[in-house]
Chain A
C-alpha cells in the first residue's frame, strides 16, 4: 500500500510538472537577453520594451479586450436567462430543441462553428446587406454564441442546487416575481454568474480559429496576431507577452476564487 501510494504521488507530481514546467520556461526566458532560447545570456527587459512599442500588438490587445468584455456580458445575460428557462420551466413547446441548442456549441469543433457563422454572415450580407463588412461586431456575436453554452451550464448547476423555498417564501410575503428574482435568486446565483463571465471572457480572449473566420480586415484580435507570428517560429516578444498574460489571468483567477469562496460559505 505504501509503495503504491508513493508511486501515485510521484505520478501526480510528474503530472503537475508536465503542466507547469513549459509555462515556467517561457516566463524565465522572457527575461533572457538572447533571441534564441537555447542558452541564457543574461537578464534583460528588452523583449518587454519591444512588446510595448509594437503598435500592432497593442491595438490587437485593445480590440480583443473590448470584444471579450462585450461578448462575456451579453453571454452572461443570455446564458442566465437560458439557465432559468431550463431549470424553472419544465414544460414548454420546443424545450428539447432548446436543450440541444444550449449544449451543442460545447461539443462543436471550433473550425465548424467558425465556418458556419462565416457562411451565415456572408449569406445575410447577400440577402439583406447586413453585416456590411466583417469586423469586431461579427467576432463579438460569434464569441457570445460560443460562450452562452458555458454560462448556461455553470448557472444551471447553481440553480439546480439552491433552496427553492426561499423564493416561495418571498412570494408568499407579497414580493412581485421580478422583485423575487432580483433580490433572492440573483444574489444566490451571483457566484455562478461571475464564474460564467470570467469563463466567457477567457474563451473570447483565447479563440483564434473562430475569429480568423469571422473577423474581417477591420478587426484583428490578439490571438490572431500571436498565431500569425507563431507560424514563423519562436519569438522572444511572445515570451514577454505570455508572462504578462499568465500574470494577469492567474491573478484574476485567484481573486475570483477567493470571492467565490467568501460568497459561497454562508449559503452552503
Chain B
C-alpha cells in the first residue's frame, strides 16, 4: 500500500529524471552554449585583439610560446578608440535619442489603442488583437519599404501634396531622423500594444466599479487605478520596443540619412566596410554590457519581485 501511494506522487518526469532527464536538458543546453554563449566569448576575445590585414583580420590573443608557456596579449586600444573618437559617442547619443523618442511615441499611441482593445468585449478583443499582430507577420523589410514608398520625394505623400499645391517642391521626408523614428514606431508598435493589452485586461473590473460607485469620476479612476495597475505592461512594452530599436540597423540604413549614424550602422560599417572586426566587437560588447544586460537583469528582478 505504501509503495502504491509513493508511486502515485511521482510524475512521468520524476521517473525520467534518472536516465532521460539529463538527455532532454542536454540537447538544447549544448546547442545554446555552442551557438550562443561561445559566440559571445568569441566576441569578447576578438574585442581585445588587434586588427591586421590577414584572414581572419585579427591577431590571436592567445599564443603558445616555444617554451610551452601560454602568452596572452590583451589589447585595450579598441575600447580606448571607442571612448576617444567622437564618431562613436555621437552614434551612441543618436541611437539613444532615436530609441527613446520612438519608445515614447509607441507608448503614447499604443496605450489608448491597448486600453480601447482591452475594454471591448471578449470576442471583439481577440479580433482586434489579431489585427494588431497581423502586420507583424508580413515581412519586416517590407514594412520599412512601405514607408520608403510613402515618404520618398517621388512617393505618395509628396505626390498628393504637390497635386494639391500645398507645396511646390517635394519635401525631404525620407533620410531624416523623423523617418527613422516613424519606421521604428511602425514596426515595433505591436510589441507595445500586446503587453499593455494583457496588463489592462487583467485589472479587476470590480475595482473600477467600486470607484464609480463611490463617485469617482472616470478620468480620476483612470489615473488612480488603471494607469498605476498597468505600469508593468508599460515597462514590458517599452523594453520590447527600446532594446531592438537601440541596436537597429535596417531602419536607419534605409530611412535615415548619413547623419543618423546609429550604433547598429557603426557596427555594420566597421565590420563590412572598414574590416575592423576588433572595433566592431568591442562596440558590440559595450552594447551588451551597458544596455542589454542591465535591462534584462532589471526586468528579471522586477518579475521575481512581483
State whether A111 and B25 are in contact (beta carbons under 8 Å apart), knowing that A11-B112, A116-B40, A172-B7 are contacts in the complex: no
Extra inter-chain contacts (4) besides given A205-B139, A226-B145, CB under 8 Å: A20-B135, A98-B32, A119-B43, A120-B35
From 207 to 248 in chain B, residues with beta carbon under 8 angstroms from any chain A beta carbon are 218-219, 239, 243-244, 246-248
State whether A177 and B156 are in contact (beta carbons under 8 Å apart), knowing that A81-B28, A115-B271 are contacts in the complex: no
In the bound complex, residues from chain A placing their C-beta under 8 Å from that of B40 are 116
Which of A42-50, A51-59, A101-109 interfaces with chain B?
A101-109
Docked-complex contact B117 and A12, CB < 8 angstroms: yes
Docked-complex contact A253 and B35, CB < 8 angstroms: no
From 23 to 39 in chain B, residues with beta carbon under 8 angstroms from any chain A beta carbon are 24-25, 27-29, 31-33, 35-39
State whether A250 and B134 are in contact (beta carbons under 8 Å apart), knowing that A119-B43, A206-B140 are contacts in the complex: yes
Interface string of B13-24 (1 = CB under 8 A from A): 101110011001
Provide a sorted-by-A list of 18 A–B residue pairs whose CB atoms are within 8 angstroms: A8-B112, A15-B109, A15-B112, A15-B113, A18-B189, A19-B189, A78-B27, A81-B27, A89-B24, A103-B296, A104-B36, A107-B239, A111-B264, A117-B35, A170-B12, A177-B13, A227-B250, A239-B149
Decide yes or no whether B167 CB sits under 8 A from chain A: no
Interface string of A225-268 (1 = CB under 8 A from B): 01100110110001100100110011001000100000000000
Decide yes or no whether B277 CB sits under 8 A from chain A: yes
Give the interface size class of chain A: 35 or more
In the bound complex, residues from chain A placing their C-beta under 8 Å from that of B287 are 109, 112
Docked-complex contact A230 and B254, CB < 8 angstroms: yes
In the bound complex, residues from chain B placing their C-beta under 8 Å from that of A11 are 109, 112-113, 116
Decide yes or no whether A22 CB sits under 8 A from chain B: yes
Pick the most buried of A23, A38, A85, A88: most chain B CB atoms within 10 A of its CB.
Answer: A38
The 7 closest A-B pairs by CB, nearest first: A109-B247, A22-B146, A116-B39, A38-B159, A82-B28, A177-B12, A120-B39
In the assembled complex, the Cα of A81 lies from the Cα of B20 at a distance in Å of 11
Docked-complex contact B25 and A37, CB < 8 angstroms: no
Decide yes or no whether A167 CB sits under 8 A from chain B: yes
Interface string of B266-300 (1 = CB under 8 A from A): 01100100000100110010011000100110000
- Output the least CB separation between A193 and chain B (Å): 14
Decide yes or no whether B132 CB sits under 8 A from chain A: yes
Kindly report which residue of chain A lies nearest to residue B24, judged by CB atoms: A81
Pick the most buried of A22, A144, A250: most chain B CB atoms within 10 A of its CB.
Answer: A22
- Output the least CB separation between A39 and chain B (Å): 7
Decide yes or no whether B154 CB sits under 8 A from chain A: yes
- Output the least CB separation between B2 and chain A (Å): 15
Docked-complex contact B135 and A23, CB < 8 angstroms: yes
Docked-complex contact A29 and B11, CB < 8 angstroms: no
Interface string of B38-70 (1 = CB under 8 A from A): 111011001000000000100000000000000
In the bound complex, residues from chain B placing their C-beta under 8 Å from that of A205 are 139
Decide yes or no whether B76 CB sits under 8 A from chain A: no
Name the one of A26, A36, A141 contacting B146, with C-beta atoms under 8 angstroms. Answer: A26
Which residues of A pack against B, CB within 8 Å?
Answer: 1, 4, 8-9, 11-12, 15-16, 18-20, 22-23, 25-26, 29, 36-39, 78-79, 81-82, 84-85, 88-89, 92, 94, 98, 101-105, 107-113, 115-117, 119-120, 122-123, 126, 141-142, 144-145, 148, 152, 164, 167-168, 170-172, 177-178, 180-181, 185, 202, 205-206, 208-209, 213, 223, 226-227, 230-231, 233-234, 238-239, 242, 245-246, 249-250, 253, 257
In the assembled complex, the Cα of A260 lies from the Cα of B11 at a distance in Å of 27
In the assembled complex, the Cα of A64 lies from the Cα of B29 at a distance in Å of 27
In the assembled complex, the Cα of A267 lies from the Cα of B189 at a distance in Å of 32
In the bound complex, residues from chain B placing their C-beta under 8 Å from that of A89 are 13, 17, 21, 24-25
In the bound complex, residues from chain B placing their C-beta under 8 Å from that of A231 are 253-254
Docked-complex contact B296 and A26, CB < 8 angstroms: no
- Output the least CB separation between B39 and chain A (Å): 4
In the assembled complex, the Cα of A166 lies from the Cα of B248 at a distance in Å of 45
Docked-complex contact B280 and A115, CB < 8 angstroms: yes
Name the one of B131, B140, B284 contacting A16, with C-beta atoms under 8 angstroms. Answer: B131
In the assembled complex, the Cα of A185 lies from the Cα of B12 at a distance in Å of 10
In the assembled complex, the Cα of A82 lies from the Cα of B31 at a distance in Å of 10
State whether A177 and B271 are in contact (beta carbons under 8 Å apart), knowing that A20-B135, A111-B249 are contacts in the complex: no
Decide yes or no whether B107 CB sits under 8 A from chain A: no
Kindly report which residue of chain A lies nearest to residue B144, judged by CB atoms: A230
Name the one of B36, B56, B139 contacting A245, with C-beta atoms under 8 angstroms. Answer: B139
Kindly report which residue of chain A lies nearest to residue B245, judged by CB atoms: A109
In the assembled complex, the Cα of A101 lies from the Cα of B33 at a distance in Å of 8
Decide yes or no whether B260 CB sits under 8 A from chain A: no
Kindly report which residue of chain A lies nearest to residue B135, judged by CB atoms: A19
